[in-house]
Chains A and B, each alone.
Chain A
Amino acid sequence: MSELAQRAPSRPRRQIWSIGGGKGGIGKSLLTAALGWQLARMGKRVILVDADLGGANLHTCMGLRSPERTLGDFIRRRFERIEDVLVETGVPLLRLISGASDFLGAANIKYQQKVRVLNRIRSLEVDVVLLDLGAGTSYNIVDFFLISDVGLLTVVPEPTSIENAYRFIKSALYRRLRNAARNEEVRQLVEAALDAKNPQGIRTPLDLLRVVEQRHPEEAALFKHEVATFRPSFVVNQVREDVDAAIGHQLVAACARHLGVHSTYVGFVHYDEAVWRSVRQRRLFIADAPRARAAEDVARLARVLLQGETLPLPW
């Protein structure tokens, strides 16, 4: 273990960080790869896991060809040991478990099975496991997000991306509440809330909590605890102007005020031509141009996350 890694960060070791966001094409995979590269450079042992069901391409972001062994092989027990599907990336301390498209066949794996898979990955010699989640809000994606120690939500400063991020937050939180509910009626209430046109008029987690408090006060404390411990972290990608970076703070404020969800803002990454140039050559920009603006942003994000910090408000 390197000296850097020993200088204890405030987070415990063997962390699972997932990178989601709901929308496709907003840079989740690139961000995962760059963040992993940066953490490895800082002396952390990192495993990248491609949990993108439909469009697994994390290996391409790392400049690798499609690996022969994938997470799907492990889940379907084609390989007994998780080590068997672990691939070297050529970067010291940085390894990869590829998803590859055949993971789709394992799309209906159960929650407990996902926990088992992640625990096996966590049992490896590793400091940080980075999970690249796919687009959408399906159970598979949301479950991996919920199992993680840190759930990063990537957004770009565009309406559709932010709408999807809110949808993702609601889906994830409702999934969590549904799993926690002890009462069948409450469970049904949570399921009803998922439908935007529910007859109870539940639009937000705040509304849901109010209804639960009225009808099942005995469940309210549990609900509040589940909501309070659900803490997604926003990363704003493709920032072009200062106001774009401020959107992260606005999202945190909006989540707290209008959804009752306590999120944090952990970083932003500038839009940068250097990223494009590297992508086209199937190379990782942060390795190609570590002084590029986007690369420095990722480095800052890595530091903030390792310290368990948040970005300070602009006043």
Chain B
Amino acid sequence: MTRLNHYEALGLRSDASPEQIEKAYHFFASMYEEAAVATYSLLDVDEQRDVRAHIRQAYEVLRDPEQRQGYDRSLAERPPVPEPPRPAEPRPQPPAEPRPVEAPPAAPALRFLPEPVTGDSLRRAREERRVTLREIAGATKIGVRFLEYIEADRHRDLPAVVYIRGFVQQYARYIGLDPRQTADSYLKRVRS
């Protein structure tokens, strides 16, 4: 399958409503299930899985108003020919245009870290993107101290699990990682 952008992947127009995004996601998710009649004879199991991941990724971005905004901006900046997911270097900042602090600095394609996600793997992903903790703290209003605890796996020094989830999700989103998968995986180690 040629690389589709998130809207194309879900068969949506760029002005799609949240309800349309939900419906489209469920439609395509069931279309690419392993036993789905429409695709099992066209794709092998690995191809189906890749497409499912792509669709999931598109959905995660588009259903979150904040991420969607950032994504829309990056689409507008993107050259007309769609590109494969970008490597980890940060995208050059447009010179004069002021950007809201929440804007993720990197490419829109969300990455998944290998499991289990640890404080150390988060730090490495962040450093690859050349993002400082201070930058994340400024954008997310999470104290630098807590971000350091997350990277150091000092779970006991962090507040309740629900807060950690929120912190990790925001951290992940800022450096272009899939927020849900990152937080789910990180929290597994917090609880045990």
Could you list which residues of chain A lie within 8 angstroms of chain B, going by C-beta atoms? 157-159, 162-163, 166, 204, 243, 246-247, 249-251, 253-254, 257-259, 313-315
Could you tell me if B39 and A258 are in contact, using CB atoms closer than 8 angstroms?
Answer: yes
B130 is an interface residue with CB less than 8 A from chain A? no
With A243-B30, A314-B27 in contact, do A254 and B39 touch (Cβ < 8 Å)? yes
Alpha-carbon separation in the docked complex, A284 to B37 (Å): 30
A153, chain B: closest CB distance, angstroms: 13
Tally of A-B Cβ pairs under 8 angstroms: 51
For A159, list chain B residues within 8 Å (CB).
Answer: 37, 40-41
Alpha-carbon separation in the docked complex, A78 to B31 (Å): 51
Q: Is the interface of B mostly helix, strand, loop or mixed?
A: loop
Alpha-carbon separation in the docked complex, A243 to B27 (Å): 9
Could you tell me if A313 and B38 are in contact, using CB atoms closer than 8 angstroms?
Answer: no
For B1, list chain A residues within 8 Å (CB).
Answer: 257-258
For A204, list chain B residues within 8 Å (CB).
Answer: 42
For B90, list chain A residues within 8 Å (CB).
Answer: none
Could you tell me if A259 and B37 are in contact, using CB atoms closer than 8 angstroms?
Answer: no
Alpha-carbon separation in the docked complex, A254 to B43 (Å): 10
Alpha-carbon separation in the docked complex, A258 to B16 (Å): 24
A198, chain B: closest CB distance, angstroms: 17
B52, chain A: closest CB distance, angstroms: 13
What are 19 pairs between A and B in contact, CB < 8 Å? A159-B37, A159-B40, A159-B41, A163-B41, A166-B41, A166-B42, A246-B27, A247-B37, A250-B27, A250-B39, A251-B38, A253-B28, A253-B38, A254-B39, A254-B42, A257-B4, A258-B43, A313-B11, A315-B20
For A243, list chain B residues within 8 Å (CB).
Answer: 30
B42, chain A: closest CB distance, angstroms: 5
Supplied contacts A251-B38, A254-B31, 9 more A-B pairs, CB within 8 Å: A158-B37, A159-B40, A246-B27, A250-B27, A253-B11, A253-B31, A254-B42, A315-B20, A315-B23
Could you tell me if A162 and B27 are in contact, using CB atoms closer than 8 angstroms?
Answer: no
Interface residues of B in 10-29 (CB under 8 A from A): 11-12, 16, 19-20, 23-24, 27-28
B30, chain A: closest CB distance, angstroms: 7
Partner of B42 from the list A247, A259, A314 (CB cut-off 8 Å) is A259
